[in-house]
Amino acid sequence: MEHTLTYNQGPFMKLFNRAVLAACLFTAAGAASATAFSVTNAVFTPGSGYGSDSSETGGTLLGVVFASNVFSNMSFDLSTVGSTKEFIIGTVNFNEPNGIGGINSNELDNLGVSLALTFAAPGNVINTVLAAGIASTGSVQDGAIDYTLRWVPVVANFGNSGAYSISFADMDFTTNGSKNLTARVTLTAADTAAADVPEPASLALLGIGLLGAGVLRRRTGK
């Protein structure tokens, strides 16, 4: 003889199951929440070795111009650790006259440059990325590398445990010309505070408590 077992969920068991399901969905949604970024300003500060000499005979300044006029406010979301966003932050224009042998030994110093980016989110902060500029003596028309920029990435923290890095691609100039400088922002750690939601186990215990209270109430008739 076959016996068929039937199971009917009571109202409190249904409440318990719904609480557990809601907790799981809520936790998953919190873990997948994106970090909002907003970059509102970009300012170059070149070293004292850059500029335009009145005469290239014994000149001391290297002809490089940094400009951020192509930058516009950026807003974007990074949803997972390791995700990135790239955008044009400015231009670097190498324009060194080739007269009197091109770049001379007096034009090789004080070629550092910094770029400060203002972040309205996450946090209201200014993060500064530094670069070393390296020039080589000689003609700017011989096909060799005349000027390079080597950027050092920075890591910025936000919230309780969030972090992101800011980097720029290195640049090489073999002749006069202008190049776009592209920034890359990478989410390196998520902020745990942003995903601080009740754990499923906590709501499950709450559901069990409600279920027990319902059973007790039915037994006592209260």
List the chain pLDDT tens, one digit each, 222 residues.
555 545 455 655 555 456 544 454 444 444 458 999 999 999 999 999 999 999 888 899 999 999 999 999 999 999 999 999 999 999 999 999 998 889 999 999 999 999 999 999 999 999 999 999 999 999 998 999 999 999 999 999 999 999 999 999 999 999 999 999 999 999 999 998 765 455 555 544 444 444 444 544 555 555
* Paired strand residues for 65: 93
3-class secondary-structure state, position 39 = strand
| Full-model pTM | 0.74
Q: What's the CA gap between 172 and 95, in Å, rounded?
A: 13
In a domain, 154, yes or no: yes
Q: What's the CA gap between 155 and 183, in Å, rounded?
A: 13
AA identity, residue 213: A
In a domain, 19, yes or no: no
In a domain, 171, yes or no: yes
- The total number of residues shown for the chain amounts to 222
3-class secondary-structure state, position 76 = strand
In a domain, 26, yes or no: no
Per-residue tokens: 98: 């080739």
Of 164, 107, 166, 114, which is closest to residue 134 (Cα–Cα)?
A: 107
CA count, 13 A, side-chain hemisphere, 57 = 0
In a domain, 218, yes or no: no
pLDDT at 68: 95
Backbone angles phi, psi at 42, to 5 degrees: -145, 125
AA identity, residue 90: G
State how many domains the chain has.
Answer: 1
Per-residue tokens: 51: 């500029």
For the chain, helix, strand, coil in percent to 5 are 25, 40, 35
Q: What's the CA gap between 96 and 117, in Å, rounded?
A: 28
pLDDT at 113: 98
pLDDT at 5: 47
Of 199, 198, 204, which is closest to residue 13 (Cα–Cα)?
A: 204
pLDDT at 9: 55
pLDDT at 210: 47
Domain that holds residue 127: 35-191
Q: What's the CA gap between 206 and 202, in Å, rounded?
A: 6
Per-residue tokens: 16: 């318990």
In a domain, 221, yes or no: no
Per-residue tokens: 76: 């974007």
Q: What's the CA gap between 102 and 88, in Å, rounded?
A: 30
